[in-house]
Amino acid sequence: MDQDVKDRFETIESQLEKTNIRLDGFEGRMSGAETSIKLLDQNIKTLLEKTVEIKKTIDDNNENVRADIKDLARKREEDHFVKPLANMDKIKFQVIGVLVGIFISAFVGYIIPNLK
């Protein structure tokens, strides 16, 4: 009977050693997994910070583009409407001036025919 107990004790002891070896392997893998999780957490935080910076840059660029578009629209309106209307007024006054000049010349020529 002592031999059976001794054999069982040795069997249990070898099973405990195998279990301890397996537990040590699990602990090593758990430690590696914890390190990986910490690295992933840090990477996620860095990515979130960079994402906020990128969003801010995009928003700034959008505001700049909107301002440029408004400026271009104002310049386009000025080039297509304001300046041509101002030129029309100039041309109108020039035509009126020429017509008045022709009329005055004809009138003066009619009144004083010998000036020719």
Q: Which helix (DSSP H) or strand (DSSP E) does residue 73 occupy?
A: helix 2-77
pLDDT tens digits along 14-45? 888 888 888 888 887 888 888 889 999 999 99
pLDDT band for position 51 (50/70/90)? very high
Compute the average pLDDT of residues 1-10. Answer: 78
pLDDT over 80 (residue 116): no
CA distances from 34 to 22, 29, 39 (A): 18, 9, 9
Between vectors from CA 100 to CA 94 and to CA 101, what angle results, nearest 5°? 85
Quick one: DSSP state of residue 41? H
